[in-house]
Amino acid sequence: MARLRGTGIAAVNYPTGMNLGGDPSQALIHATTSGSFVVSLSATDLGQGLRTVIGQIAAETLGVEFGEIVIDTADTDTGPHDMGTFASRATHRVGNAVIAAALEARRALLDVASEELEAAVDDLEIDGHGNLMVKGAPSRSVRVADIAALAQFKYGRTISGRGSYMKAKSPVDPETGAMDPDSTEAHACTVAEVEVDTETGEVTVLSIKSAYEVGRQVNPALVAGQIAGGAWMGMSHALYETTAPYYPAPDHSPRDFSEYLMPGTLEMPEIESVVLEMPSSNGPYGVKGIGEMTANSPIPAIVNAIYHATGVRIDDLPVTPEKILRGLEARQPGPA
């Protein structure tokens, strides 16, 4: 029995946003009497942590603690329009809309503070922890919460903001394909190491090591979660998953999780990653978006590693043990 090892690499780019644009996301923000800020959206959280990162972006822009942000989503009676959570667009699009709304709300807050503190708006700052002060005069500091209450009960004002972000719709030239198909591009490079059992054709993925360039990580722990989950899904696509095991034949399509194959806890490779941050010009705080791309580079990296290990090139996904065995037998005629 031979166990052959190999490594493979792959480098990819991934575009952020619905490719041809015209996909708005909107946000509304208002302050409560206690100085919390409610961010109203209709974007959905698929588990990637949208509520959390949008809360961080709102807190950052307003200058208040993360805990003061309430994310209210998704309800079409209260949340303004959003195109949806797909195309790695949510953090980029919703984040930009929230920044715009937060800046408007912040300005309304500063207008009230300006009157209350008898200082010019340009001379005011918010410290990121809910304190609003006159620049250079820390003694003239008030809580954002106090200004929010005064706005309502003394000045009769709303502290609110509206934000929208939309990349203008881009046409496609039907002859040349000239178009503007992205907002920004994130990048990944994966190195996979595999071991192949030449008697069974089974592949063990030993490690998936990747570098990702994502513009800006709003929440590194959540980015790490996307990377680990994406690497697993890429491995799963490369070696296991199909709804038509003998495509294009439609037979034997799976009905359940024992027939629809995915790797489990006993197939977990070592996963290691490094994240680069080279901020994009148009993402919120430089964000590019990482949701989708993490599954992409592991697939060709694993397939290339199998070739490196065995000399057998499999160009059909998923790379099943049978395909490898047939490849090996074709190289060395005669029964194994």
Partner 1 sequence: MTVRTYLLPRSLPEALGLLAHHGPDLLVMAGGTVAMPLINEGISLPEAVMGLRLAGLDRIVRTGDVLHIGATATLTQLLDQDAVPMLREAARNTASWAIRNMGTVGGNLFTPPPGGDVAVALLALDARVTLASTSGQRSLPLDGFLTGFMSNELAADELLVEIEVPVRSEPTAYLKLGRRHANTPAVVTVAARLEWGDGRVADARIALGAVGPHPIRAREAERRLVGTGLDAEAIAAASDAAAEECEPFTDGIATDWYRRRMVRLFVGRALEQLTPGATGEGR
Partner 2 sequence: MSADLNVVGQSVARSDGIGHVTGRTQFFGDRTFPGMLHLKMVRSPLHHARIRGVDLSKAERVSGFVRALTWKDVPHNLYTILGLIGVEPEEEYVLAEDRVRFRGEAIIAIVAETEAAAHEAVSKVRLDLEELPAVFDVEEALLPGAPIVTSWGNNTFMYEGHPCRRVRLGDVDAAFERADHIVEGVYNTSPIEQAPLETTGCIAVPEANGRFTVYTNTQALYFSLDNTAIILQVPGNRLHFVGGTVGGGFGGKVDVIVEPIATLAAMLTNRPVRFAYSRSEEMQVSSTRSAWRIYIKDGISRDGHILARKVTSYADSGAYSRQTPYALTKHAANAAGPYAIPNVSIDAYCVFTNRQPASAMRGFGVTMASFALEVQMDRIAERVGLDPWTIRFINAYHDGDIKPHRKLAEDATLIETMQAAAALVGRELPDDLRAMTSAPRGAGHDGGRD
Partner 3 sequence: MASTIVTFELGGREVEVMVRPMTTLQAVLRNQLGFTATKDGCRQGGCGSCTVLVDGEPMLSCLLPVEDVAGRRVTTLESITPAEGLHPVQRAFLDANALQCGYCTPGMVMVSTALLDHQPAPTGDDIRQALTGNICRCTGYRPIVTAVHDAAAAMRANAGEQAR
Which residues on neighbouring strands pair with residue 7, listed in sequence order? 193
Contact between 190 and partner 3 by CB under 8 A: the answer reads: no
65, 272, 292, 329: which one is catalytic? 292
Contact between 258 and partner 1 by CB under 8 A: the answer reads: yes
| Gap between the Cα atoms of 58 and 300, Å rounded | 38
Contact between 275 and partner 3 by CB under 8 A: the answer reads: no
CA 200 remoteness from chain centre: 37
Which of the choices partner 2, partner 1, partner 3, none does residue 19 contact, using the CB cut-off of 5 to 8 A by kind?
A: partner 2
CA dihedral 273, 278, 282, 284 (to 10 degrees): 60
Out of 218, 231, 271, 312, name the contact with partner 2 by CB under 8 A. Answer: 218
Question: CB under 8 Å to 15, separation ≥6 — which residues?
Answer: 88, 181, 182, 183, 184, 185
**Contact present, 301 and 192 (Cβ < 8 Å):** yes
3-state secondary structure of 244: coil
Angle formed at CA 156 by CA 151 and CA 158, multiple of 5 degrees:
65
Strand order in the sheet with 3-15: 3-15, 185-197, 203-213, 270-276
301 by Cβ neighbours in 10 Å (0-12 / 13-18 / 19+) ranks as buried
Out of 112, 144, 222, 309, name the contact with partner 3 by CB under 8 A. Answer: 222
List the interface residues with partner 3, window 87-116 (CB under 8 A). none
| Gap between the Cα atoms of 58 and 103, Å rounded | 9
17 by Cβ neighbours in 10 Å (0-12 / 13-18 / 19+) ranks as buried
Contact between 227 and partner 2 by CB under 8 A: the answer reads: no
Phi-psi region of 301 (alpha: psi -120 to 50; beta: other; left: phi over 0): alpha
Pattern 285-324, binding to partner 1, x per CB under 8 A?
A: ------------------------------------xx--
List the interface residues with partner 3, window 248-267 (CB under 8 A). 255-258, 262, 264-266
Interacting span for partner 2 (CB under 8 A) from 57-65, 100-108, 138-146, 328-336: 57-65
3-state secondary structure of 188: strand
195: annotated active-site residue = no
Size of interface with partner 1, in residues (CB under 8 A): 21
Out of 81, 143, 162, 326, name the contact with partner 2 by CB under 8 A. Answer: 81
Out of 149, 242, 263, 321, name the contact with partner 2 by CB under 8 A. Answer: 242
Which of the choices partner 3, partner 2, partner 1, none does residue 200 contact, using the CB cut-off of 5 to 8 A by kind?
A: partner 1
Out of 6, 28, 39, 79, name the contact with partner 2 by CB under 8 A. Answer: 79
Contact between 232 and partner 3 by CB under 8 A: the answer reads: yes
Query: What residues line the site for partner 3 (CB under 8 A)?
Result: 46-49, 221-222, 224-225, 228-233, 255-258, 262, 264-266, 268, 271
Q: What are the residue numbers of the active site?
A: 292
Query: What residues line the site for partner 1 (CB under 8 A)?
Result: 199-200, 240, 245-246, 252-254, 256, 258-259, 261, 263-267, 321-322, 325, 336
